[in-house]
Chain A
Amino acid sequence: MSDADPLLSARGLSKIFPGVKALDKVDFALSRGEVCALMGENGAGKSTLIKLLTGVYRKDEGRIFLEGREIEPRSPIDAQMLGISTVYQEVNLIPALSVAENIALGRQPVRFGRIQWKKVARNAEQALSRLDIRIDVQQPLGSYSIAIQQMVAIARALDLSAAILILDEPTSSLDAAEVARLFAVMRRLKEQGLGIIFITHFIDQVYQISDRIAVLRNGRMMGNFAAASLSRVELIAAMLGKELRELENTSLRKNGAAPDAENKPFITIRNMGKKGACEPFDLDIRKGEILGLAGLLGSGRTELARLLFGIDRADQGSVTVNNDPCAIRSPRQSIALGFGFCPENRKEAGCIDELTVRENIVLALQAKKGWLHTLSRAAQQEIAGGYIKALSIATPDAEQKIKNLSGGNQQKAIIARWLAADPRFLILDEPTRGIDVGAKVEIQKLILSLSEKGMSILFISAELSEVVRCSHRIAVMRDRAKITELYGDEIHEEGILRAIAQQKAV
């Protein structure tokens, strides 16, 4: 805080929501040409701080200064005019419009009352070339991968001659090469004097790119540290407010149990596939087994899960459960077989925003029972209350609308929905994505304890270390095909990477 003229500073910011003090007298500072990582658990107040800075919320207390001058952003547009641009975790652009239109939206160059489409396209290309991306800007945004869409969102933000760029989990859907590319861009912008606030859950990335690390916990600022002088252990301890030893103990509960030859698979899948989505694959699932599914972004992990759960219909293949052949054509059918599926995009496919946490949790169970076998209000409250406690979902009460919860707690509520339905086989697609370290460990622990109780789990994650830590067996995917399975000693990160690389060489 010795900097005399920080680019952006905040003093004593507070924000109160019904029942929660989301931010409590938080101080924050960002200098020119600096990347500051904002770290904290779910519900620590990262999103709230960003939303106060960008005018999405109004602060209840405190002051914000931009280059020493007090500002009071009233809306995101207001903040953009001041030079504070934000790229959110979920891409907030319009998929049906072209890339160029998305970048130009709201500020199209106009001459004589007409939009200059050529200039729109040229501007878009320029903005993207700054990020070293060359794509056809006339194509609809929706036809590109989420990674590209994210880059377009950044290009749009940069196009606004920003002084401050806020990146809210920009890397959670990017693969390693894209992350490297993004970081190159961030370094270039840094040299140009931009201040960048970077929110992420990937600790490695924090150390790769950040100059400073600000840590929030329970709405309080735990400190604004120089990245070089803060060890990882100290960082995690600051975020969690507990000793790291505890954390390591839980994550070291490595599952050495080798696949039991005696334990016959109860679900066997043969030659299941769908053109354009996933090449035909075989898969066996044993009782109480955690089957990891690893692969790079776009390798077909989610596509495979969608076929298994009947969201997309396979155009070939067979499924037997306990030796009975069965058809999986819809989620309802697979739920009837005792399957459950926690989707990766919880915003679109998980949460029912307007409903309460209680209603969200009992939904799958109630759907399974049918509308005539209604769970009584008391039973619903008991189930919801039980899971809120068991998964320590941070919510004032079960009657809170789920949209008011932080991302990680929403995720836990969706997992609770499936646990309540008591499946035999649970598919978890990126259950820890966009979730802080503490909640990650909790969810990993949960997965292990579920498998001990006999539930079979398909665990999909982009984080290799996580898959390695939890799985009994790992299926590796590449280019929309299952390429191999790893057992016992083969289960380590290197083994997965080698499996992917080996196949690539062929």
Chain B
Amino acid sequence: MKNREGKRKHSDSSLRLLWPLAALALILIYDLIFTPHFFTIVIKDGHLFGSLIDILNRSAPLCLIAIGMTLVIATAGIDISVGSIIAISGAVAAWLIAQAHAPLIAVLCVPCVVSLALGLVNGSLIAYLGIQPIVATLILMVAGRGIAQLITNGQIIVFENKPFEYIANGFLGGLPFTITIVAAMLALALLLSRKTALGLFIESVGCNPEASRYAGINAGRVKLLAYAFCGLCAGIAGLIVASNIKAADSNNAGYLLELDAILAVVIGGTTLSGGKFSLVGAIIGALIIQSLTTTILTQGIPVEVTRVVKALVVVAVFLLQSENFRQAIGASFARRAA
């Protein structure tokens, strides 16, 4: 009995990751067969290069905002302003480098603080003024790119700053530095949510805000923290994006990335209605999205088709996750067998 219970417990948490992992594996198996050299990793100047490394590197901004978005969605909220926060963060960094000639520490910290503050604004609107999350963050989504353009004076600020360029282009221990950033933020998020009671409170508030209030949970503060953290994640992602192109492009930086992030979170097994969440699942979701994009690009499929293929894969992942669908399939197999 004891053994069986242990097994069930184990499967309960990892079962939710099983289907996203299976989807990722399917994409990779496809690549193994149809994309030559997909799994080849070469070492140049002590750095690792290859499609797999590329996927990890390129998915970094998406992974970061998916981490923040997971916590927000778990509170039964949503943050559609992260793309704009990316643009603002990049614009602030570029302005500090190119116009203010600020020291590196300021270039790194100020955009993060600004993003955190924007997250706090989102959170306050939602937690204390009771504005619906999609409306509250829509404000910043629309206004944010305008703010970023004001900072850059409506132009794309191009800059050169070796230390700053290291963020997106440097290597640490043979791997792109971005991987370290994502790993660090994931570790921080896991630490905050799983090693403290914050995760329990987030799930509780997301699942039943009324009962959480009765139990003495400060739902407002929990939400505020989630949105602030989400803002911070977007800010760091903004630094990576700006560092990558050595410029601040207020119109295109992180454009529509919030939708990919929401998708990644949902693929990862966190439902939009809030409650139980999986940070690792969101990362897997982000990797699925990026592998798909990379695969399509390396296959030489016309770009117009990309979105359609993406949509089809997403539908397939959701069908795999749907218990009803799996039961229906199982039943039809059983009928055929009988």
| Chain A residues packing against B (C-beta within 8 Å) | 18, 309, 311, 330-332, 335, 341, 343, 348-355, 359, 362-364, 366-375, 396-397, 399, 417, 421
Measured CB to CB, the nearest residue on chain A to B201 is A371
* Contact between chains at A354 and B216 (CB < 8 Å): no
* Contact between chains at B215 and A417 (CB < 8 Å): yes
Interface size class of B (residues with CB under 8 A): 20 to 34
Measured CB to CB, the nearest residue on chain A to B204 is A352
* Contact between chains at A332 and B218 (CB < 8 Å): yes
Q: Which of B182-233 contact A (CB under 8 A)?
A: 195-198, 200-201, 203-204, 207-208, 210-218
* Contact between chains at B200 and A366 (CB < 8 Å): yes
Determine the chain A residues whose CB is within 8 A of the CB of B5 once the complex forms: 396-397, 399
Determine the chain A residues whose CB is within 8 A of the CB of B335 once the complex forms: none
Given A353-B208, A354-B207, A355-B203, is A368 in contact with B216 using a C-beta cutoff of 8 Å? yes
Given A18-B8, A371-B197, A397-B5, is A331 in contact with B214 using a C-beta cutoff of 8 Å? yes
Q: Which of B204, B211, B216 is in CB contact (< 8 Å) with A332?
A: B216
Q: Which of A343, A366, A370 is in CB contact (< 8 Å) with B214?
A: A343
Asked whether any CB of chain A lies closer than 8 Å to the CB of B246, the reply is no
Measured CB to CB, the nearest residue on chain B to A417 is B215
Q: How far is the CA of A374 from the CA of B193 in the complex (A)?
A: 11
- Chain B interface secondary structure, helix, strand, loop or mixed? helix
Determine the chain A residues whose CB is within 8 A of the CB of B207 once the complex forms: 352-355
Number of A-B contacts (CB under 8 A): 85
Give chain B nearest CB distance to A361 CB in angstroms: 11
Determine the chain A residues whose CB is within 8 A of the CB of B336 once the complex forms: none
Determine the chain B residues whose CB is within 8 A of the CB of A366 once the complex forms: 197, 200-201
Determine the chain A residues whose CB is within 8 A of the CB of B214 once the complex forms: 309, 311, 331, 341, 343, 349-350
Q: How far is the CA of A368 from the CA of B211 in the complex (A)?
A: 15
Determine the chain B residues whose CB is within 8 A of the CB of A399 once the complex forms: 5, 8-9, 12
* Contact between chains at B216 and A335 (CB < 8 Å): yes
Asked whether any CB of chain A lies closer than 8 Å to the CB of B58, the reply is no
Given A396-B5, A399-B12, is A331 in contact with B216 using a C-beta cutoff of 8 Å? yes
Give chain A nearest CB distance to B128 CB in angstroms: 13
Q: Which of A349, A359, A396 is in CB contact (< 8 Å) with B200?
A: A359
Give chain B nearest CB distance to A264 CB in angstroms: 27
Asked whether any CB of chain A lies closer than 8 Å to the CB of B145, the reply is no
Q: How far is the CA of A348 from the CA of B207 in the complex (A)?
A: 11
**Could you show 29 A-B contacts with beta carbons less than 8 Å apart?**
A311-B214, A331-B213, A331-B214, A332-B218, A341-B214, A343-B211, A348-B210, A349-B210, A349-B211, A351-B208, A352-B204, A352-B208, A352-B212, A354-B203, A354-B207, A355-B203, A355-B204, A355-B275, A362-B200, A363-B200, A363-B217, A367-B215, A367-B216, A367-B218, A374-B195, A375-B197, A397-B5, A399-B9, A399-B12
Q: How far is the CA of A18 from the CA of B208 in the complex (A)?
A: 25
Determine the chain B residues whose CB is within 8 A of the CB of A351 once the complex forms: 208, 211
* Contact between chains at A354 and B215 (CB < 8 Å): no
Give chain A nearest CB distance to B24 CB in angstroms: 25
Most A CB contacts (10 A, CB to CB) among B195, B210, B276 go to B210
A sample of 20 more A-B contacts (CB under 8 A), given A354-B276, A367-B216, A374-B196, is A18-B8, A341-B214, A348-B211, A350-B214, A351-B208, A352-B212, A355-B203, A355-B204, A359-B204, A362-B200, A363-B215, A364-B215, A366-B200, A370-B197, A371-B201, A372-B196, A375-B197, A399-B9, A399-B12, A417-B215
Give chain A nearest CB distance to B123 CB in angstroms: 16
Determine the chain B residues whose CB is within 8 A of the CB of A331 once the complex forms: 213-216
